[in-house]
Amino acid sequence: MKIIAKIIKYFSYISFVFLIWVIVSIFIYTVYRSLGVIDLKFIFDSPRGMVLGEEGGIFPAIMGSIWFSFTALLFAFVPAMCASVYSVFYLKNNKVKRFISNVFENVAAIPSIIFGLFSYAVFVYMLGFGRCVLSGGIALALMIFPFLERKFEKSFLEVDKNLLIASYNLGIDIRKTFMKIVFPQCFKEIISSVILAFLFAMSATAPILFTGGVAFATVPDSMMKPAMALPLHLYLMIAQGSSQINRAYGVAAVSLIILFLFSTVAYCLSFKRDKKIDG
Amino acid sequence: MNSITEKIFKYFTKALTYITLSMLLFVICYIIKEALPIFIEVNPKDFILGKEWMPIDFGFGTKFGILYFILGTLLVSFIAVVISMFISIGVSLFLTVNANNRVRRNVFPVIDLLSGIPSVVYGFIALELLSPLFFRFGVKTGNCVLLAAIVLSIMITPFMISSVTYTFVNLKNKYMVAIKSLGVDEWYGVTTIIIPKAMKKIILSLILANCRAMGETMAVMMVMGNAIVFPTILGKGESIASLIALEMGTAVRGSNHYYALYAAGLVLMVIVLIINIVLHAFSKEKE
């Protein structure tokens, strides 16, 4: 048994070092391979070339990704906020509460491509929107809704119960208590969750694959237009066998840099003790 | 005045909650509705257990059987979860035993970066770096189920680590003082007490992680080879999600092909939901 304990000890050291090595090397290697590719022209130009993306830049893809994610947030933020407020502060019936949270939990487990399928049938065809930012954005919204709802609910539940009780006892209604106490206290965390949800939507490809993402489009000027997206652009470059592999690394590096910057901001905003992992 | 705005606020949140709830249930119902027409043509049993997939009629008739896709999905996610189990138990033990609260709080966001990386980027890096390696070891074209599983295992590791670490830290808070005061080596205590006690919860989170792995589309699609064959570890395979992603663009709306793809999605969704519901019922019973 002592030998096994030793093996487990060293195994745990090795796996920790291994994981950190994987994370660091993914970022550093991708950025390293894209050196010389990323410049202002790469970021602010449209893609060109025999295989799209071999020349030019990726500006429409960056803007398209932002359009998709904003649309997703637009449709997911208010419902997620309302659902979490309602189930935390108003809903008293435990059975209903459990049912609602079960549905949200299970929807969170549904593969994202299913939302793509749904949006394809309903928004692209049945309602006739066609492939556009709106159809793709709604698919993404369905995907990020449970994530946002759970994050909001968690941050609301962490507000000091005594404050709430004091506020109710002073005769202040739930709406005002929420606006004056809960919301300001959770504000940073809400922003941080929104940023994480934005990144989540930005990194997803499956839901927009046939609902709004296309191989080439200009920067969309309305939600009814199709758009490019960063990960989709990268996928198509590889699938079409682009000979300029460094440019593919460039696209990957841009999405990793965006991820890194935004995650850092989100992390700084919600930095606080997570009691669950404190020993 | 006050009570009117309060009422409006209450009913607004209530209405939106139920609208969203019904929207989410509508998604599930609509997938079922779009899948049903294929089951008029094909017996559901044949659809799930059929081995041949010939969605377009080239003169030999069409065949819709998704057994190999189901097996591919299950195999790749199973291997991924097994690999991820070892990594995440190792890392979580390190974070529990060796790291203090400060280190733990700072390492978690770094590990969480992994879950934010777009799956296409994972697929791309695997194609670039790992696929040639597999090719050199004799795997045809370098793409195989094992490679996809390795990529998937890295993708689900952040989720695994956070839930396994919670379990370990709880147990450590409970037993570590006793272990240390008996003069036993920390790691001996971890091996004999903490890991066996944590095993049940680890298995639960493994199954949940398995659900996530099954739905992953892009990375798996890029490195699994996408051939309709019986999936083997070093051979090619195709998952349900990749099947949908690859063929949806070419399926004519209203054709059997189209309905069959929705039915494949339905099968995937049902597998995930059943596992999830059973698991939650099981873990609630425990508490």
Residues 6+ apart with CB under 8 A from B55: B62, B64, B247, B251, B256, B257, B260
CATH class for the domain made up of B63-286: mainly alpha
Residue A243 pLDDT exceeds 80: no
By mean pLDDT, which of A198-202, B1-5, B183-187 is the weakest?
B1-5
What's residue A244's pLDDT?
A: 81
Number of A:B CB contacts under 8 A?
262
The answer to whether B190 faces chain A, any CB pair under 8 Å, is yes
In whole angstroms, what is the distance from residue A248 CA to residue B124 CA?
Answer: 9
Which of B110, B121, B192 to mutate against chain A (most A CBs within 10 Å)? Answer: B121
Residue A274 pLDDT exceeds 70: no
pLDDT per residue over B110-167, tens digit each? 998 999 999 999 999 999 999 999 998 878 888 899 999 999 999 999 999 999 999 9
What's residue A278's pLDDT?
A: 62
The answer to whether A82 faces chain B, any CB pair under 8 Å, is yes
Q: What percent of chain A has pLDDT over 90?
A: 63
The answer to whether A79 faces chain B, any CB pair under 8 Å, is yes
The answer to whether A3 faces chain B, any CB pair under 8 Å, is no
> What one-letter code names the amino acid at B159?
F
For the segment A205-222, the average pLDDT, to the nearest whole number, is 88
User: If you measure CA to CA, which chain A residue comes closest to B267?
Assistant: A114
pLDDT band per the 50, 70, 90 thresholds, residue B103: confident
Specify burial of residue B281 (Cβ count, 10 A radius: 0-12, 13-18, 19+).
exposed
Q: pTM of the entire structure?
A: 0.92
The answer to whether B109 faces chain A, any CB pair under 8 Å, is yes
Instruction: Give chain A's largest Cα–Cα span.
Output: 70
Q: What percent of chain B has pLDDT over 90?
A: 52
pLDDT band per the 50, 70, 90 thresholds, residue A183: very high
To the nearest whole Å, the CA of B46 is away from the closest chain A CA by 22
**φ, ψ of residue B148 in degrees (nearest 5):** -60, -40
What's residue A133's pLDDT?
A: 94
Which of B20, B157, B174, B246 to mutate against chain A (most A CBs within 10 Å)? Answer: B20
What's residue A194's pLDDT?
A: 95
Its sign, for the CA torsion A262, A264, A267, A269, is negative
State how far the alpha carbon of A266 is from the alpha carbons of A26, A65, A188, in Å.
21, 19, 9
Helices (H), chain B: 2-41, 44-49, 67-93, 101-116, 119-125, 131-136, 145-181, 186-189, 195-215, 218-223, 240-247, 256-286
Residue B170 pLDDT exceeds 80: yes
**φ, ψ of residue A39 in degrees (nearest 5):** -145, -175
Chain A CB contacts of B261 below 8 Å: 117
3-state secondary structure (DSSP) of residue B180: helix
Residue A273 pLDDT exceeds 60: no
The answer to whether A92 faces chain B, any CB pair under 8 Å, is no
To the nearest whole Å, the CA of B85 is away from the closest chain A CA by 11
Contact between A83 and B20 using a beta-carbon 8 Å cutoff: yes
pLDDT band per the 50, 70, 90 thresholds, residue B251: confident
Contact between A173 and B125 using a beta-carbon 8 Å cutoff: no
Contact between A176 and B112 using a beta-carbon 8 Å cutoff: no
3-state secondary structure (DSSP) of residue A227: strand
Residue A61 pLDDT exceeds 60: yes
User: If you measure CA to CA, which chain A residue comes closest to B254?
Assistant: A121
With CA atoms as reference, report the closest residue to B229 among B7, B53, B20.
B53
CB interface of B with A, residues 237-276, below 8 Å: 241, 244-245, 248-249, 253, 261-262, 265, 268-269, 272-273, 276
The answer to whether A15 faces chain B, any CB pair under 8 Å, is yes
To the nearest whole Å, the CA of B43 is away from the closest chain A CA by 22
In whole angstroms, what is the distance from residue B75 CA to residue B146 CA?
Answer: 9
Contact between A9 and B116 using a beta-carbon 8 Å cutoff: no
To the nearest whole Å, the CA of B191 is away from the closest chain A CA by 6
The answer to whether A10 faces chain B, any CB pair under 8 Å, is no
To the nearest whole Å, the CA of A53 is away from the closest chain B CA by 15
The answer to whether A104 faces chain B, any CB pair under 8 Å, is yes
- Considering A12-26, A210-224, B42-56, the range whose residues carry the highest mean pLDDT is A12-26
For the segment B222-237, the average pLDDT, to the nearest whole number, is 88
The answer to whether B106 faces chain A, any CB pair under 8 Å, is no
In whole angstroms, what is the distance from residue A191 CA to residue A267 CA?
Answer: 10
DSSP strands (E only) in chain A: 47-48, 55-56
User: If you measure CA to CA, which chain B residue comes closest to A204?
Assistant: B118
User: Which secondary structure element, helix H or strand E, spans residue B54, and what is its range?
Assistant: strand B53-54
The answer to whether B174 faces chain A, any CB pair under 8 Å, is no
In whole angstroms, what is the distance from residue A198 CA to residue A195 CA?
Answer: 5
In whole angstroms, what is the distance from residue B29 CA to residue B35 CA?
Answer: 10
What angle do the packed helices A59-85 and B2-41 form, to 10 degrees? Answer: 120
Q: What is the ipTM of this complex?
A: 0.91
Chain A CB contacts of B176 below 8 Å: 279
Contact between B118 and A210 using a beta-carbon 8 Å cutoff: no
Of B94, B116, B245, the CB nearest to A203: B116
The domain ranges of chain B are 63-286
What's residue B285's pLDDT?
A: 61
With CA atoms as reference, report the closest residue to B193 among B204, B206, B177, B209.
B177
